[in-house]
Chain A
Amino acid sequence: MRKVILDEQWQAAIKRRDIATLARTITAIERSPEFLLALSRYVFEDSPTVSIGITGVPGAGKSTLLNQLIRAYRAQGKSVAVLAVDPSSIQTGGAVLGDRLRMQDHALDDNVFVRSLSTKGHLGGVSETTFISAQLLKYAGFDRVFIETVGIGQSELDIVSVADISTIVFIPGMGDYVQGIKSGIMEVGDVFAINKSDHEGVRALEKVIRLEAHDRENKTGVSLEVCLTNAVSGEGVEALIAAQDAALARSAGQDSLRRQRQLQAFSRLLLDIELREHWLKPFVDGEAGRRFFAQLAEGESNPADIISVFTASVESRS
């Protein structure tokens, strides 16, 4: 692995958004829990830039929409970074990460950074390293940091504690799907984008979504932006940007609240990683764990015994 040392040179390279250094740092985050922990001491200084989550069902047009968003922000002279998450196979750990190909138009632009991440088996729509990687990109000073989640169903909503605001992308022609997701998705999200506005059924969908948005506004007193987009032609993308900016301005008053939520979620994640890497794994792969599973296979112990065996092994460690 190409080593990353967190020294002044590294910091300077990150601050000038050196692509190679950013790329290597994100790899180091993925490959070493110790590095992730060490980096956490650096990247949380206040940064004026924002992160925006883009989520929705597979094929909703998230990546295509991002391609247009990048184009529009670049026309304004703003720099953009994208973290694009796709699922990895639980069986093999392998993955096909295909979001990037929709954004390759911008590959030669130094002010655009696109990085594909696999979930590494993590549920919730993003990977464990997504938040800190987004934080790194904010720290580097990209004006906008986007996070594309995996295609979600009803519940993969970690994005709300990972990004500053989230846009949920809907598409027409899915019938009951809207009913199905109402519970989860429509309770979160700051902007509702109805993409594939060139498709049939868009008016009906818009009606349902506006009703839902209205309903939520009534209950929470917080307004919600709804807009129509065509990610292929680019129609409606300016309105989407305006909607996102409005949502950001609206949530600016709640900055510290949101920050707290993000940092809390991240702390818990670090704790999860610590427990897994330094307590669970050594136990499961170690002598005591192996002996337990062998006994289990022989019918000599009960699954519930794992608790006392584990506790005993932890006590003998300290």
Chain B
Amino acid sequence: MEQPIRLLLAKIGLDTHTIGITVLAKELRDRGIEVIFSGLKQTPEQVVRAALQEDVDVIGVSCLSGGHMTHLKVLAEQMRALGIDDRILIVGGVVPEEDVEPLKTIGVDRVFTMGANMDDIAAYLRSAVAAA
């Protein structure tokens, strides 16, 4: 069998919207991805340290309560500091259109918002990890 992609899923800060990330985890598992849950109410530092230990290919953060710009900026900095900025970084949830480009400037590779198609997410992960 093809080796599964390892993806760490996390929520940062006080954002308690858990439905999206739960759905995502199950749907991606059903598409052959190994999803590691690092839990809710994490700090960016905790997420990055977990990613290092788990040696994941991708870090995925779910943000629905508006903190995405600040959290992702710190997260991307921490990834560089730990030398894991070669991993793919994706964000999903409620992210206004005008924030997508600034997020990419920070170091986010891709943003998926409400109604994102699961096959598209899985296909993106495969091509991005293969290219990395």
Contact = CB atoms under 8 A, between A and B. Distances in A.
A292 interface: no
Contacts of B31: 92, 94
A31 interface: yes
A97 B52 contact: no
Contacts of A19: 52-53
Given A26-B55, A101-B39, A94 B28 contact: yes
B15 interface: no
Interface string B1-19: 1111010000000000000
Interface of A: 2, 19-20, 22-24, 26-27, 30-31, 88-89, 91-98, 100-102, 104, 107-108, 113-116, 118, 120-121
B26 to A, nearest CB: 7
Given A31-B3, A104-B42, A96 B49 contact: no
Contacts, number: 93
Interface of B: 1-4, 6, 25-26, 28-40, 42, 45-46, 49-50, 52-55, 82-84, 86
A261 to B, nearest CB: 29
A273 B35 CA distance: 25
Given A89-B32, A96-B26, A113-B53, 16 more contacts: A2-B86, A24-B55, A93-B4, A93-B32, A95-B29, A97-B37, A100-B50, A101-B40, A107-B38, A107-B46, A107-B49, A108-B46, A108-B49, A115-B54, A116-B36, A120-B1
A112 B35 CA distance: 21
Chain A: interface secondary structure? mixed
Contacts of B35: 94-97
Nearest to B86: A2
Contacts of B29: 89, 92, 94-96
B52 A20 contact: yes
Contacts of B49: 107-108
B4 A94 contact: yes
A97 B39 CA distance: 11
Given A89-B29, A89-B30, A107-B46, A23 B52 contact: yes
Nearest to B40: A101
Nearest to A82: B53
